[in-house]
Amino acid sequence: MRQHVNPLSRNFDQIERIPSLIEMFDDSKLPLHLDIGSAAGEFLFDLALNNTKWNYLGIEIRERLVRTAKLKAREREIKNLYFLFGNANKIVHEFHSQFITKNLQSISFNFPDPWFKKRHHKRRVIQPELVNILSKSMRSGSQIFIKTDVKDLFNYMDCTISSNFNFKKIAKKDFNYSESFNPNKFQTNREKYVVGNELDIYERIYMKI
């Protein structure tokens, strides 16, 4: 069951202090991957445990999920994984210079909330303003990954990112996963459900020019 949280609610106006990369990770110089809408973080746990030469940062708007994920990472002493609670749009807007550094290699938006009704499209996490900030702060060669099972949402995200001329699409067949943040091609929870139910997946990779 999808549980939608309205990111435009006033509850999310305040942002918690964002620690520095040095506080978040044991080795802050490692390449960094950012997963937006990381839910309970299982996907990032798989990644962090298997790719110890990468740092992984999840942003999630459901506070309880973030609290539990942070506790789990601390208990297991995983030093290349961190979670931030809040609306990703606000966090990226206010703190992009802090964590969108030269270390940031890639960002994933996996199965974002679709917000089907047109009047709710402004609640979708990918917004022109977010893409604009990312286009100004990401270094060239870094990548954005989008994935969804909702065709209309895919078209919307593709159009929003492609409207920004600082990103170009990469053909999946030309992409070398072995050097990416996810060389083992781990699946997210939603992805496992979608694959299990033989639903379509729409995905695309963009590179900052």
Residue with Cβ nearer ligand SAM (61 or 138) = 61
Residue with Cβ nearer ligand SAM (22 or 123) = 123
Selected catalytic residue, list 26, 113, 174, 200: 113
Binding range to ligand SAM, per CB under 6 A, among 35-43, 95-103, 149-157, 162-170: 35-43
> DSSP 3-state assignment of 67?
helix
- End-to-end Cα distance, the chain: 38
The residue from 24, 59, 153, 205 that contacts ligand SAM (CB under 6 A) is: 59
Restricting to residues 142-201, name those near ligand SAM by CB under 6 A: 188-191
Our answer to whether residue 200 is catalytic in this structure is no
Least distance (Å) from ligand SAM to the CB of residue 147? 7
Beta strands in the chain (DSSP E): 32-36, 55-60, 81-85, 104-110, 143-148, 167-170, 202-208
87 binds ligand SAM (CB under 6 A): yes
> DSSP 3-state assignment of 84?
strand
Question: How far is 45 from 35, CA to CA, in rounded Å?
Answer: 12
DSSP H/E element including 58: strand 55-60
Question: How far is 38 from 110, CA to CA, in rounded Å?
Answer: 8
Residue with Cβ nearer ligand SAM (64 or 102) = 64
The residue number whose beta carbon is nearest to ligand SAM equals 37
Least distance (Å) from ligand SAM to the CB of residue 109? 8
Give which of 75, 86, 89, 168 is closest to 126, Cα–Cα: 89
- Residue in the block written with tokens 């999946």: 172
Least distance (Å) from ligand SAM to the CB of residue 188? 3
**Is the separation of the CB atoms in 114 and 194 below 8 Å?**
no
Which residues are near ligand SAM by CB under 6 A? 2, 5, 7, 36-37, 39, 59-62, 87-89, 110-113, 125, 188-191
